[in-house]
Amino acid sequence: MNDYVIRVLSSPSDVSPQAWNALLAAQAEPSPFMRHEYLAALHDSGSATPDSGWTAQFVTLWQGDVLHAACPFYIKDHSYGEYVFDWAWANAYEQHGLAYYPKAVVAVPFTPVPGARLLARDAPSRTLLVQGLIALCKQEKLSSLHLLFGADADIAACAEAGLMLRNTVQFHWTNVAPTLGSDEVSSLPPDEAPFVLGRPGGETSYADFDAFLASLSHDKRKKIRQERRKVADAGVSFRWSRGTDIAKADWDFFYRCYERTYREHGNPPYLTRDFFRRMADTMPEAWLLFVAERDGKPMAASLIALSTQPDAPLVAYGRYWGALERVDCLHFEACYYQPLAWCIAHGAYRFEGGAQGEHKMARALMPVKTTSAHWLAHPSFADAVERFLEREGAGIENYMDHLGERSPFKAA
C-alpha cells in the first residue's frame, strides 16, 4: 500500500470529470449531487467558494496515474448550509476559549441528500482515504472533521477509523406502501435486492395517484383531497418539463421564485442564477420543473432533482421552490402532490423530501435515519461529544418509535 499517494486539489476542475464520475458510478449509493458537474458548478458559479465560507481542498488517492478514491473536502469557518447542526459544539469551544473554526466537512454544500461521499474503487482504498482525511485535518490544525449524510460503506469506514456516528431523521416516500415498526428503517433498498421494473423484491408500484390515496387512512386521504381542492379552486394549474425541455424563460422564472423565498426569510439564496445555468448546460437530465399558473401567468415553481444512473431505480429529490403569490396549500401541491403524481406516472421508486419536517408524514413521506460521522481533535471535547451522542442517539430511537405509531397508512 506504500505506493498510494494522497493529493489535495483546490478545485473540482483539477481532477478529470470522467475519472470522478466513473468512481461515482461504481458506488452502491450514488446521487446526482456528487457528480463532477454538480460540484464544479457549485464552485465555478460562486455558490460554494472561500468568499461564502467553503474552501475546497478535494482529497484524492492515486496509485500512479490511476484515481482510486476521492471526496469533496471543504474547510469552513461557519456551519451554514450543512443540515447536521453542530452550533452547540461550536459554542462550547468558544466558552472554553478554544477555536472550533476552521473545521472540515466532507459533504455536498447545501444538499442534505444521503449517498456516497467517499468515492472508492474498493474498501481498502476507502480506508486509506479516511486515514488521509484525518491526517490532513491534523496537518492543517483543524478542530474537527464531519462527514455528512454518508452511504453505508462510508459510515463503516469512518467507524473503523474511530469516528463518532450521529443519526438524524429525514422523510422519504416510496412507490409501494411501507410497513412501519421494524427495528431497521432504511432510506435505500438493500444492495442485494433484485430489481423488477425498478423495484426491489418484485414489489409493485401504485397504479395512479388515487391508488396511492386509497392506501392511506381515511383522515389523511380526506386531508390531501381537501388541500388539493383548495389549490384547484383558486384557479391554479400546473405544467411540468424535464431536462432540455425546460426553457430558459422557465429557469429564469424559477430563480425569481427561489430567490424571493429566501429573501422573504431574511437571507440571500445559497445558489446563484449562474449555478442553475450551468445545471441546464451540463446535466439537464437531472432536473424536473413544475410551474404553477393562474390566469395564464406563472406564479410559483418547484424544482426536483432526478437520479441519473442508468439501469438503476429512478429516484426523485425535492429540492427548491418559491412563489410570487400566496395561495392556501400551494406549497403542499407544488412540492409534494405534483411530484408524487409524477413519480407514480413515471415509475420512480423513491421521492426524498429533504431534511426535517414531521408534516411530511401526513403526505406519506416516512421517517428514515441518516448518518454522519465526526472526529474531534481535542480529546476532552471528543469525550464530551461522544457522551452527548449517546444521549442524543437514544432520543432519536425514541423519536423513531413515536413516529412509527403515527403511520398515515391504513391499519393492516
Q: Given this model, what pLDDT does residue 177 score?
A: 53
Q: Given this model, what pLDDT does residue 51 score?
A: 93
Q: Given this model, what pLDDT does residue 355 score?
A: 75
Residue-wise pLDDT tens digits, 283-340 = 999 999 999 999 999 999 999 999 999 888 999 999 999 999 999 999 999 999 999 9
412 band by pLDDT with thresholds 50, 70 and 90? low
What the block records as the C-alpha cell of 88 is 452547540
Q: Given this model, what pLDDT does residue 190 score?
A: 38
Residue-wise pLDDT tens digits, 345-393 = 999 999 998 777 888 999 999 999 999 999 999 999 999 999 999 999 9
Q: Residues 187-200: what's their mean pLDDT?
A: 38
Q: Which residue has the cell 425541455?
A: 245
Q: Residues 32-59: what's their mean pLDDT?
A: 96
Q: Given this model, what pLDDT does residue 189 score?
A: 38
Q: Residues 218-238: what's their mean pLDDT?
A: 98
Q: Above 60 in pLDDT, residue 208?
A: yes
- To the nearest whole number, what is the mean pLDDT of the chain? 92
Q: Given this model, what pLDDT does residue 324 score?
A: 96
Question: What pTM value is reported for the model?
Answer: 0.92
Higher pLDDT, 150 or 186: 150
265 band by pLDDT with thresholds 50, 70 and 90? confident
Q: Residues 133-148: what's their mean pLDDT?
A: 98
Q: Residues 76-86: what's their mean pLDDT?
A: 95
Residue-wise pLDDT tens digits, 121-140 = 999 999 999 999 999 999 99
Q: Above 70 in pLDDT, residue 187?
A: no
Higher pLDDT, 267 or 387: 387
Q: Given this model, what pLDDT does residue 181 score?
A: 44
- With a pLDDT cut of 70, the percent of the chain lying above it is 93
